[in-house]
Amino acid sequence: MSDPNPLAGTPRRTRDQVADLHFMDARYKLLDLAAFLDRLEKASGPEDHRVRGLRAALPLLLQSGDDRVAQILHLWSDPSVTPIEKADTKAASGVWPGLK
């Protein structure tokens, strides 16, 4: 029988090792997000629900813990428990439109 977790027993990386491997990618993504928000500030029209979702998620990034991804996905998810009859859009938007 195979181990359900193939990484079980693998030594954890140190913080320095994780930073060495992933810092430049995270740096790029943060700068890209900053540029995106700058472009939005210069654009006209009302704020989109997806942008509200991004702004609502930013404080979660600064919290400690190891479940930030789950918290953000939960924040962006539709909280309703009953299915709707028919979709009112052609595709998913990535953030529940009812997010306040």
Residue 18 lies in a domain: yes
pLDDT of residue 86: 84
Residue 32 lies in a domain: yes
In this structure, the answer to whether residues 21 and 69 fall within a common structural domain is no
Burial class (CB in 10 A: 0-12, 13-18, 19+), 52: middle
Q: What is the pLDDT of residues 28-66, one digit of tens each?
A: 999 999 999 999 999 999 989 999 999 999 999 999 999
Residue 87 lies in a domain: no
Query: Residue 63 is which amino acid?
Result: Q
Q: What is the pLDDT of residues 78-94, one digit of tens each?
A: 998 998 888 777 778 89
Query: How far apart are alpha carbons 17 and 83 in whole angstroms?
Result: 45
Range of the domain at 18: 12-45
In this structure, the answer to whether residues 74 and 26 fall within a common structural domain is no
